[in-house]
Each structure stands twice: as C-alpha cells, then as structure tokens.
Structure 1
Amino acid sequence: MRLSGKTAVITGGTRGLGRVIAESYVAEGCRVLLGGRDIDAVADLVDKYPDQLASRHLDVRDPDSVDRLLQAAVDRFDGLDIVVANAGMSAPGRVAGLSLEDWAATFETNVTGTFLTVRAALKYLPAHGGGSVITMSSAMATRVAPGASAYCASKAAIEMLTRVAAVESAAQGITVNCLAPGIIDEGMGRALASNAVVWAKYSQKLASGRPGTADEVAAAAVFLVGNDSRYINGHVMEVNGGLDW
C-alpha cells in the first residue's frame, strides 16, 4: 500500500495505459479520479472500487474542463496528491504529406493538453502540501521514426515542458517527472505489432526479445509518485527493456 491515503487524477484514464496505471494505483491504496471522453469504458472499475475510483468526462484541450476535473477530485476525495497527464493521440504521416489539421490536432491534444494539465496541477497541488506530476512521453521523442513526425515532435516538446515545470515547482514540494514507454503491448504499441510489415522492422529492435507490458509501465508510474522517488525530479524515465534503436 505505497500510495495509501493519496488521491490521483489521471487524464486519458479510461483506456490503454491510463486505465492500467489507475488499477495499479488503486491496488496501492490510492483514490483515483479518471478523466476521459468515454467514461462508460471504466464503468466496471467504478463498480468494482466504488470507494476508491470515480470517472468524469474530460476534454483535455479545454482548460475549464481540466480545472473542473482536478476540483472534482478535491471535492470527492478531500485532497489531491498526484496528477498523471496521460491523454494523447497519434496522427501518422510523413512530413511531406501530413495535413495541417492532423499536425494541429496532435499538438493540441498531446502538448497543449499536457500543458493545461500540468498548469492546473501546479495550481492545485500547493494548496494540498505539494505532490507529484507525471507526464507521458515516448521512446520516439528521441528517435527518428519515419511517418510519425507529429507524434515524435509532440513527445519531445512534452519532455522539455516536464524539465522546465520541475525546476519551477520544486520549491513548492512538487516533483514533475516523465514516463517514456518503448514498444508496449497496449494501445499504440499493440497496433504497431498488429501490422506485419511494420512489426518485422521494429521487433528486431527489442533487446529483451519482447514488447513491454502495460503493468511494467504502471509499476514505474507507481514508483515515480511514491516516497522512494521523492528526490527524483525533472527526470525522463524510459521503460523500454533495452531498445536497440
């Protein structure tokens, strides 16, 4: 019960890695409010953990929606200690052919959405004695991936936003760290593995011989908000099993 008594908000928490991180937090004694567009997708979790877990509609691109989510956590669970800015999207396309609409949508969700979430966290957490923020990047933030220009660039921006926010908020007792999964058998990683042509290329880059699991990413997410990591700040933690890329 490493997170007993703590309250967390997770954006993009109704599916994929966000949902698995939420389950890991609950298992560690944390109370969790999930924000997402499809809260029906976590109705089973809400029913299973009625005293520990709740959900709320969220548009991460809307600052008022983000603020309401964090305030709802304070109102429901009488506090706020952890914010995980997990919401994200990908719009595949090479630079020469990527539409402005897809580029803008990726940055609006991934970068602006993360900025709005972190900004709100830095407003709410000091009032509750500090806390922890996690942003979500990707191994692709620092590696060339043809056909993923918008995604790679947006994740690189998130990593620098994380470092700046960490320095600015450390004196308030807040840590801001970033998780950067490699190829994970969940969400976008699972879609990658389902494409035989693409997977033939990327599977060779896995030094561990397999994709990671969502539980392995969630374990890192638990560590970064627990007492054992309280002096880790502004760090980008790759969870990639040894990615030879």
Structure 2
Amino acid sequence: MAGVGQDRAQRAVTGRFVGRRVVVTGGSRGLGEHVVRLLLAEGARVATCARKAEPLEALRRSLDAPDALFTQSLDVCVPERLERFVEEAASALDGLDGVVACAGGARGRGITEASAEDWSATWEMNVGHVARLVATTTSHLRVAGGGSIVVVASVSGWKPGPQAQYGSAKAAQIHMVSSLARELAAGGIRVNAVSPGSMLIPGKRWDRMRQEDPPAFERFRAEFPGRELVQPEEVADVIAFLLSDQSRGVTGVNLPVDKGQNAPTPEGY
C-alpha cells in the first residue's frame, strides 16, 4: 500500500493535523489504513490497533516516519483490552485530540440461521466497541480542551439490507452518535458518524465479485446513480474533515458517503 501513502501525501492539506493526536481502531487495512495514512501525511501522530500484528508491522515498515505511529494487536471486543490500549496510546502520544471508531464487522446469516451468539458478537463489534472507546477516550479529550470523535457506521444502518443483525448494530451507532453529541458537548467534544456506501477495496467482497462474477458486479453497479462504487479514500477524506477544525460547527450528524447508493447489497430490498 505504499502507493496509497505517496498519493495521499501529494494530495494532503499541508499541516492540517500537525500536533494532533488521534486514535483509530481497525487501522491496519481497508478504510482504516487509508484514514491512518491520511492523518500521518497531514502531520498527526496516530495510534491504531487491529487483531493481527503482521499487517500493523507492515504498515509501520511502509512509512517514512514510523515513529509517528503507535500500534498494538488486540481484539476490541475483549473486555478491558481496548481500554488498556487507549490508555497506553494516550501515554505514548502525550494525550488525545481525536478518535475514529473504524473497527467493526458482522457474524451470522439470516434471521432463521443466525444464533444468539451471532447477534451478540455483531453488537459487541460495533455498538459495544464504540461505547467503550468513547467512554475511555472522553477524559483525555476533555484534558485537551475538547476534540472530535468519528464513528464509522454504514449505509446499512439506514437503508435496509441483509443481515438484520449488522444493520441493527449500525443503526444503533447512528443513534448513539446523536445522543453522545449532546451529552459530551459541554466538554468541547464533537461526535459524528460517517456512513460509507459499498466500498471497492482490493481483495474484499466487491472486488472479488468484480473479478469472479462480472455480470453480478455490473448488476450491483446499477444501485449507484453514477454506476461507480465508493472508494475508501473518498470516505477517509470525509472522516478527516470531521476530525479537523474545518468542521468545528458540526456535531451529532450522520454523514453518508455512498454516492447516492440505493440498496446496500446486490440482494436489493
């Protein structure tokens, strides 16, 4: 992904995040990696985590200034592990100014097949992870005089599609943001959500469909008025905007970055 960093460095708004310290969960690949690289290119110091150590180490090795990145491998769903990472990140970065909740996921299939454990795991990956991340980072943001929290939700959180456990969890994230924005405003903390549409990420579902089943991919493209899926760097740009002072008047919103997508999956509905 070195090309991503080089391209991002060329496009960066010089110095927008110089002196800023940001935590990003799920930052080793996909959208999270784009966010991390963008913030670093624009001068931030960043702490990120992911389940596997190898992609995090590969990310560090690809950077021109690896000392600006603090990493740990962990499962954000493990009790107290995420909280410990936040405290160690805040210590390593000497405080926090911003937070991006990018880690997430889903388990299980349709309602008659998904188990109670599938629902619980999906909820914890999304809602529980965000709640604990915000609860742990809030004190550090207040010490810094305020800050910005961005939660990566999904088009599936407000446009129906399978599976229900994932859409329900993402809808809960969106509601949580509107509530937390009011609760934390007195401390100078802004809270917003970004809802990406279906992103074309190398090696992921839609990229595999494009390569393995071109007719199905062409049908899916019809869900987009411009017939183009969302690029992760387009979402990263919006996340960076919400972290920056350029959005200082924005809080409690859910900002779709979906290119006007209709159904969030090829199954429609």
Instruction: Report deviation, 1:237.
Output: 0.8
Match in the other structure for 1:60: 76
Q: Which residue of 2 aligns with 1:76?
A: 92
Secondary structure of the residue aligned to 1:194 is helix
* Alignment match, 2:36: 22
Distance 2:60 2:139 in 1: 27
Task: Check if 1:129 corresponds to 2:140.
Answer: no
User: What's 2:113 paired with?
Assistant: 97
Hey, what does 2:163 align to over in structure 1?
148
Amino acid at match of 1:163: S
3-state SS of 1:24 partner: helix
Matches within 5 A, 1:189-228: 190-195=204-209, 196=213, 199-228=217-246
Tell me the number of residue pairs that the alignment of Structure 1 and Structure 2 aligns: 243
Gapped regions of structure 2 (runs ≥ 5): 1-14, 264-269
- Structure 2 CA distance for partners of 1:198 and 1:95, relative to 1, 3 Å: farther
Q: Structure 1 residue 109 and structure 2 residue 101: aligned? A: no
Query: What's the CA shift for 1:225?
Result: 0.5
1:167 equivalent to 2:196? Answer: no
Cα distance in 2 for partners of 1:222, 1:134 equals 9
| Correspondence 1:50 to 2:66 | yes
Which amino acid counterpart does residue 138 of structure 2 have in structure 1? L
Following superposition, the deviation at residue 107 of structure 1 comes to 0.8
Counterparts of 1:79 and 1:187, CA distance in 2: 34
Q: Deviations over 1:170-229 (max 9, x none)?
A: 1101001011000111279x3035343764543211112111111111101110000110
Write the distance in 2 (CA, Å) between the matches of 1:92 and 1:63: 22
Q: Which whole-Å CA distance do the structure 2 matches of 1:6 and 1:220 have between them?
A: 17
Question: What TM-score, normalized to structure 1?
Answer: 0.93
Report the 3-state secondary structure (helix = DSSP H, G, I; strand = E; otherwise coil) of the residue aligned with 1:94.
coil
Distance 2:87 2:223 in 1: 43
Q: Name the Cα RMSD after superposition.
A: 1.8
Shift of 1:63: 4.4
Q: Alpha-carbon deviation of 1:231?
A: 1.0
